[in-house]
Structure 1
Amino acid sequence: MYFKRGKFRVHISPLLSITAIVLVSILLWNLSGYTFCHQESRLCACHKCLTDSDPWFNDIISESPKPLMSQKHKPSEEDFNWWKTITPIADVEEPRPDRCRRCAVVGNSGNLRGSQYGPLIDFHDIVIRVNRGRTKGFERDVGTKTTHRVMYPESSTRLDNKTHLLFFPFKTPDFLWLLKSLIPGENGAPNSNKIANKDLVSILHPAFMKYVHDVWLRKKAAYPSTGFLAVVLSLLMCDEVNVFGFGADSEGNWSHYFEILKNKRLKTGGHPGEEEYKMIVKLHMKKKIVFFKGW
């Protein structure tokens, strides 16, 4: 095709053809990119979700039962039905495509002393602390923020009205303790034993404990530690997970950053400490978590 104007005679057919090819190529590239990006549905809005492209991790996480007792996911054991009368029991909030929820799981290892991780820990949306892990006096190394605290009776500490209690029962009397810690006092008086806000209590399901012991720790030792249970729980609660304050000292003992260890023969108690540490390192190597080892 030719276009003539005055003294100029221009052949425009190749120019139009090249332009059309470029436009179609751009369109196809965009469409192919859209298709590629949406082949795998995303469970979160993070740059990299925990469930992205790792068969090993997806297989092991898919075996998990619902980790918390709730009205939606009722326990099968009739003996546990009375739990529902204690409090409205919360469930794990599922991932959403429009949200990236970043969590810090803070253990109590002595390697946190001098770490100066405090500001980094407080930066997270959710900060899960374990048992009696203190913040006062240790703010520079462990931060100040606590949104969730993992506890059982022997390791309990009073929580403020906004902190979620993640209750890990290891024996039947633990439930009786929880009941006494939540019910009102006589004649409506304040309960001097109150430990937490009754509307912010979640109870770890026994089936989840067994799953962690059997699948993650290959039935090593008697039962998992509260800290390792919290790490696995965080993989279901959160979209990104960073782990702090785990690991034994140079003598193989689980020492605490907030106290001097007196029992040098403690080691890791009845827990498979070495197996738990290896699994945390494995998750770090597979880039499912970031493990901050301290100093």
Structure 2
Amino acid sequence: MVALKHRNLKLFTLALALFAITIMSFLLNYTQNSGLVLWNPEKYFRFSGPIIRFMTSVRRPCSCETCVSEAENSVWFDERFNYTIPPLMTKQSNMVSEITYKWWTRLQGEKKPMEINKAIEEMFNVIPGHNNLQDQNPYRCRTCAVVGNSGNLKGSEYGGEIDGHSFVFRMNHAPTAKYEKDVGNKTTHHFVYPESVRDLQDNVSMVLIPFKTLDLQWIVSALTTGTINFTYAPVPRKIKVTKDKILVYHPDFMKYIYDKWLLHHGRYPSTGILSVIFALHVCDQVDLYGFGADSKGNWHHYWENNPSAGAFRQTGVHDGDFEAEIIGNLTSINKIKVYKGR
């Protein structure tokens, strides 16, 4: 009888401890996510062993083996990564700082731009302007494949692996038809600028990267009157895309990448590095495919038959070597994983 009482006492104590841990874990997680300091149990209790490991796991920003947004992993990363800067323009986050605006309007030499606030207002009268991509969930593992256009994808047979990700980011002209075995056929977000736009399936989000005020005007025109057909190059008057799935890259986020990540190398970031840093801010795990040269050192697109015909690395506006160094550093600290193909 005494042994039974002892056993019941142990079970009750264990249940009480688990209940206390659950309550304290909730409070820690709540204060971390909300920014409020309501109560800090660590100030009053000492935890050890399994309890510390349990509490630490609850406070992680995701359930992946490694989470991109976890800090204190690399000084180099922590000095650059700023989660508070919004990657997309929305109705709630539609202001462009004066410093950004002056830099941004010089990127493609816009001479007589429309007043920026008017352009933004007109744009959000046509597209929804909502964004929930930066939501965090400690019980979620959002995996993202950022698929570049390198010829090293040829013969890689990465298609199925790419399609297995939660999000699949592609960019510019990137075709999938006839290349599914190597590049997959799933796309959730397609990054473009007006001069590189292409028709998209109804379930694909178009992420417009604007380099000038005219680009904001163009998206309105392409969805309504179709009056704009030229920027510095021909652009389509109309586009096939679901209006409610149009997202707009924030100029402040572009400037943040140029200042903090590129350290002013090149004139402005490439679509590739814009997509990679974007992924760091909205994904829990980031895998890169189709970046870099092929195994023979050729820089070309996977849909080109002649490897020497591409040479897309030498654009005159991007610093390919420095951007490659950033990707190498991110790989070395396990923030991303790069699949080099062939």
Q: TM-score range by the shorter chain?
A: 0.7 to 0.9
8 A contact 2:159–2:184 mirrored in 1:
yes
Q: Which of the two has greater strand per residue?
A: 1
Aligned residue for 1:288?
335
Code of the aligned partner of 1:230: S
* 1:268 to 2:314 alignment: yes
1:85-109, Cα deviation, whole Å (9 max, x unpaired)? 2311232332212321111000000
Which whole-Å CA distance do the structure 2 matches of 1:252 and 1:222 have between them? 25
Distance change (3 Å), C-alpha of 1:199 and 1:184: farther
Which whole-Å CA distance do the structure 2 matches of 1:36 and 1:58 have between them? 23
Aligned residue for 1:79?
116
Which whole-Å CA distance do the structure 2 matches of 1:119 and 1:172 have between them? 39
C-alpha displacement of 1:213: 1.2
Distance change (3 Å), C-alpha of 1:34 and 1:173: same
**Number of aligned residues:** 279
Code of the aligned partner of 1:86: V
- Unmatched segments (≥5 aa) in structure 2: 22-46, 98-114, 228-235
Candidates 83, 86, 90, aligned match of 1:70: 90
Distance change (3 Å), C-alpha of 1:252 and 1:116: closer
Candidates 71, 75, 80, aligned match of 1:60: 80
Code of the aligned partner of 1:89: G
Aligned residue for 1:157?
198
8 A contact 1:68–1:205 mirrored in 2:
yes
Aligned residue for 2:67?
49
Candidates 174, 178, 201, aligned match of 1:133: 174
Which whole-Å CA distance do the structure 1 matches of 2:159 and 2:311 have between them? 30
C-alpha displacement of 1:265: 5.9
Report % sequence identity: 37
Which whole-Å CA distance do the structure 1 matches of 2:303 and 2:329 have between them? 27
Candidates 138, 143, 150, aligned match of 1:109: 150
8 A contact 1:225–1:271 mirrored in 2:
yes
Which whole-Å CA distance do the structure 1 matches of 2:272 and 2:13 have between them? 55
**RMSD over equivalenced CA pairs, Å:** 3.2
Which whole-Å CA distance do the structure 1 matches of 2:252 and 2:165 have between them? 29
8 A contact 2:298–2:308 mirrored in 1:
no
Code of the aligned partner of 2:318: H
Which whole-Å CA distance do the structure 2 matches of 1:262 and 1:48 have between them? 38
SS in 1 for 2:81: helix
8 A contact 1:253–1:268 mirrored in 2:
no
Candidates 48, 51, 65, aligned match of 1:34: 51
8 A contact 2:300–2:309 mirrored in 1:
no
TM-score, with length taken from structure 2: 0.71
1:68-94, Cα deviation, whole Å (9 max, x unpaired)? 001222214671432322311232332
Which whole-Å CA distance do the structure 2 matches of 1:282 and 1:136 have between them? 33
